[in-house]
Structure 1
Amino acid sequence: MSLRPPPSLSPDAPAAPLIDLTRLKACLGPAAGRFDVDALDHCDSTNLELARRPQAPSGTVVVADAQSAGRGRRGRTWVSPPGAGLTFSLLWRFNGPAGRPERLSGLSLAVGLAVAQALESLGIAGVRLKWPNDILLQSTDAPLAKLGGILVETSLERSGAAAIIGIGLNLEAPPDPGQPVAALADACRAAGTAPPDRHTVLAAVLSELAQVLDTFARDGFAALRPAWEARHAYQQQRVCLTGEHSRQEGCCLGVDDSGALLIETGAGTERHLVGDLSLRPAVASRNGPRLILDAGNSRLKWGLRDHGHWLAYGAWPWAEAAGALAALLRQHPGIDTALGCRVAGDAQIAPLQALLDAAAIPLCWLQPSAQAHGVRNSYQHPERLGADRWAALIGAWHREQRACLVVCAGTATTVDVLQAGDGEGIFAGGMILPGYALMRRALGQGTAQLPGEGGQFTPLPRLTEDAIATGCLSAQAGAIERMARQLPAGSPVLLAGGDADRLAPLLGHLPAVLAHGLVLDGLAHIAETSPPARPDSALALP
């Protein structure tokens, strides 16, 4: 370990840093050669200080007694009064394949594991980890409280990637923290032991980081995952994951080999990479009715479901949706949770999310998976199937329990083949084409003389309006007939969506059935066949 020159001892010089580098080198022992440490009495942020040193070697450490602009994840301020905490940043380079972005996704979790193992080596009991970057402390007479945090910032380089790893630990509890906090000194006093000094703590963490980061670079996070999950504060517990415009509850299954969080919900297992998300324990359910939502391109379809029955249902155009939902929530204050599928954009969803957040109603969005609720998804990339199509397929299978064609005729028309397997439905594939209105609009916009509205289906049209209507409807019907050939004769054709009534008369030679609520029925089945909301079980619906 190289030593920086000590600060000047003139009367006007700043105070000497609390970290004595000679003492730290002795505490590091053989690991000292891997680090180049600079100790400061104060700075704006140790991460920023390292970022201002782009040519610094891997293993450079900046440790400061106090920070004036310390940062946490999501732009939060990290409070670091002089002497109360241990705040430092480490520059670590990953060369070759180890520096690829996909390999670095679990880095903050690996760092958390290293900190936890270092503290455990010093006799600190009850250290827990929270995805993606918090270090917690669990004691017998107090709830989980935050002991420290991690902020990892990476940048690509010609030979790989550089990571600036910022770590903050509470040695003493900060004043007015605004949230439950823990401190090493308090934990040691409660256990009747003397707290380790900052040199011992810093040396232990740096030594453990060197070993863990070597493993991470060589084998990826997969090699560290079991040890991380063993310390995960919310492993196999019911949790709530919130973002700026989202809220989701489910059972936390842990993480995958890339460090993504795995949540079991009514939509199946969902995977979340590090982003603007916050993980918290879930509150107990109120066991009221469920709100079911189908957020389409042009309308928001909804239903209230309670103990297997629809209490109410309907559809609102997007211009009216927020006001209508607010009125519905006032009329039904006992709504417990919400489950939905969406193809609508964020601009439509954000006001709904805000209303549900204000009412403390957790909302889960359906995410297609390879298999769920008795239906197998044969899509090449199952997660890329539209959520509304997936809900309709699940609803169709539990309605028919046999092979059928599932048609959703809205802004777009989807025609999906559902085969019957051994005790399960199999989504074999399907097509997407512009819906009736979209076909007409495209024709009107792409030509100078053709009308965009009016007309009706006619076997031999003699008016331009009728010719357009007949052509567009025949295109829809022809696509349905073509896909119906993929199924055994007599297989029902289930028609849902705003144009289902237009199409049904054109399919007289097929066993076509109007099933307008197919998507909502599928979502309701998902909600009602989920495991009960117990903290120690997989929660299928928040």
Structure 2
Amino acid sequence: MSETLLDTLADGQWHSGEALALTAGITRAGLAKRVDKLRELGLDVEARQGLGYRLSQPLERLNAARLQQQAASGLRVAVVDSTDSTNRQLLDAPAAQDPQALFAEYQTAGRGRRGRAWRSPYGANIYLSFAWSFAAWPPQLTALPLSVGVACAQALHDVGCTRVQLKWPNDLWVDKRKLGGILIEHRGEAGGACRVVVGIGLNVAMSGTQADGIDQAWISLNQAIGANVSRNTLAVALLDRLHGVLSRFEYEGFAPFAAQWSALDLTRDQPVQISGTPALDGIARGVDEIGALIVESNGERRAVHSGDVSLRLVQ
């Protein structure tokens, strides 16, 4: 990728092809190839005769030095331009370096829950993984995704997104559209130490062109707020809130976050459908102390654990 070209286009203004090629010391044909490379990364580069090239919206790259400077003491923070998956990278990283956080501008193999692909256009969103080592296996580990959801909601509130809600077990929604998701992977044995990698993907400035092919209703943070949000400011807020929640969860479990999660619960007292074996239709009645969803069906209340199930609101 040509960083010089990207930095020039980052302002979202029109730049003539002649000037861009001259600055880069390449031919117009060479410039066209570099523009194609940017598009392969998911960047929405517009071209118009007589005007040249521009990004459909300004681009703000993450500043690793700023993030590290504003991170909690002892937290290692890194930013990479491109990787297959931030979660996979931290799963392979030495646990001795925990807590550590990794951001990527672009992912080639981003993953969501149940192995789904996660759309990761360059510089449009937040792709973050946060690794944490617990000295002992937390007794309420199944509720960790809910606690992390609270941390993400707090960070979003910090940057002005006050309408965010949490959809069990690991999605963030605004106005009945998906804003982001959480994927937690862990290693360890019950009774011993436990290491978790918390993956977070948040739509920040993704355009309709970049989201082409997404098969569910989605929204970007900029759309939700009606203004452009600094990705660096959001990244700092996420690091701060995640560090705080994980620090407390290690010793206090889900209890300190249960009331906050309940207040943000998108599905509480709503008709829902649970796919799985067996399938279940009913009314969502919140969650229990270990993060299981309580569903009332035919006069009985059942606890549904995340596993291989999917929850859908009945419209």
TM bucket by the smaller chain?
0.7 to 0.9
Hey, which bits of structure 1, 4+ residues long, moved more than 4 A?
A: none
Match of 2:289 among 245, 251, 257: 257
* Aligned: 1:215 with 2:248: yes
Structure 1 match to 2:143: 106
CA contact (8 A) 1:18 1:41 kept: no
CA contact (8 A) 1:109 1:133 kept: yes
Instruction: Supply the distance in 1 between the matched residues of 2:255 and 2:297 (Cα, whole angstroms).
Output: 24
Superposed CA offset, 1:362-388 (max 9, x none):
xxxxxxxxxxxxxxxxxxxxxxxxxxx
User: Root-mean-square deviation (CA), in Å?
Assistant: 2.1
* Aligned: 1:125 with 2:162: yes
Deviation, structure 1 residue 70: 0.6
CA contact (8 A) 1:129 1:135 kept: yes
Q: How many residues align?
A: 254
Equivalent position amino acid for 1:135 in 2: L
* Structure of larger gyration radius: 1
* Aligned: 1:59 with 2:92: no
CA contact (8 A) 1:44 1:70 kept: yes
Match of 2:257 among 217, 224, 232: 224
**Which residues of 2 match residues 170-319 of structure 1 at below 5 A?**
170-173=203-206, 174-176=210-212, 177-189=214-226, 194-243=227-276, 245-266=277-298, 268-283=300-315
Instruction: Supply the distance in 2 between the matched residues of 1:107 and 1:34 (Cα, whole angstroms).
Output: 22
Identity of matched residues, % = 38
Instruction: Supply the distance in 2 between the matched residues of 1:197 and 1:159 (Cα, whole angstroms).
Output: 40
Superposed CA offset, 1:317-337 (max 9, x none):
xxxxxxxxxxxxxxxxxxxxx
Instruction: Supply the distance in 2 between the matched residues of 1:55 and 1:117 (Cα, whole angstroms).
Output: 27
Equivalent position amino acid for 1:178 in 2: D
Structure 2 match to 1:86: 126
Equivalent position amino acid for 2:211 in 1: P
Deviation, structure 1 residue 222: 2.0
Tell me, which stretches of 5 or more residues in structure 1 are unaligned?
A: 1-10, 139-143, 284-542
Equivalent position amino acid for 2:296 in 1: E
Instruction: Supply the distance in 2 between the matched residues of 1:180 and 1:64 (Cα, whole angstroms).
Output: 24
Structure 2 match to 1:38: 78
Deviation, structure 1 residue 18: 2.5
The structure, 1 or 2, with the larger RCO (C-alpha pairs under 8 Å, 6+ apart) is 2
Structure 2 match to 1:147: 179
**Which residues of 2 match residues 484-499 of structure 1 at below 5 A?**
none
Instruction: Supply the distance in 1 between the matched residues of 2:86 and 2:65 (Cα, whole angstroms).
Output: 21
Deviation, structure 1 residue 54: 3.2
Superposed CA offset, 1:446-496 (max 9, x none):
xxxxxxxxxxxxxxxxxxxxxxxxxxxxxxxxxxxxxxxxxxxxxxxxxxx
SS of the residue corresponding to residue 105 of structure 1 reads helix
Match of 1:25 among 40, 53, 68: 68
Instruction: Supply the distance in 1 between the matched residues of 2:117 and 2:294 (Cα, whole angstroms).
Output: 28
Equivalent position amino acid for 1:198 in 2: R
SS of the residue corresponding to residue 32 of structure 1 reads coil
SS of the residue corresponding to residue 279 of structure 2 reads strand
Deviation, structure 1 residue 56: 4.3
CA contact (8 A) 2:67 2:77 kept: no
Superposed CA offset, 1:18-64 (max 9, x none):
321222234x2xx4323201210110000111112134422211110
Deviation, structure 1 residue 195: 2.6
Deviation, structure 1 residue 76: 0.4
Structure 1 match to 2:89: 49
Structure 1 residues 256 and 116, CA gap change in structure 2 (3 angstroms): same
Equivalent position amino acid for 2:102 in 1: V
Deviation, structure 1 residue 272: 1.2
SS of the residue corresponding to residue 153 of structure 2 reads helix
Deviation, structure 1 residue 267: 5.5
Superposed CA offset, 1:486-539 (max 9, x none):
xxxxxxxxxxxxxxxxxxxxxxxxxxxxxxxxxxxxxxxxxxxxxxxxxxxxxx
Equivalent position amino acid for 2:313 in 1: P
Deviation, structure 1 residue 180: 0.6
Deviation, structure 1 residue 159: 5.1
Instruction: Supply the distance in 2 between the matched residues of 1:37 and 1:196 (Cα, whole angstroms).
Output: 21
Tell me, which stretches of 5 or more residues in structure 2 are unaligned?
A: 1-24, 26-37, 39-59
CA contact (8 A) 2:184 2:196 kept: yes
Match of 1:161 among 194, 215, 218: 194
SS of the residue corresponding to residue 246 of structure 1 reads coil
Equivalent position amino acid for 1:249 in 2: D
CA contact (8 A) 2:167 2:266 kept: yes
SS of the residue corresponding to residue 182 of structure 1 reads coil
CA contact (8 A) 1:249 1:282 kept: no
SS of the residue corresponding to residue 243 of structure 2 reads helix
Equivalent position amino acid for 1:175 in 2: A
* Aligned: 1:136 with 2:173: yes
SS of the residue corresponding to residue 269 of structure 1 reads strand
Superposed CA offset, 1:290-309 (max 9, x none):
xxxxxxxxxxxxxxxxxxxx
Instruction: Supply the distance in 1 between the matched residues of 2:300 and 2:144 (Cα, whole angstroms).
Output: 26
CA contact (8 A) 1:222 1:258 kept: no
Equivalent position amino acid for 1:65 in 2: E
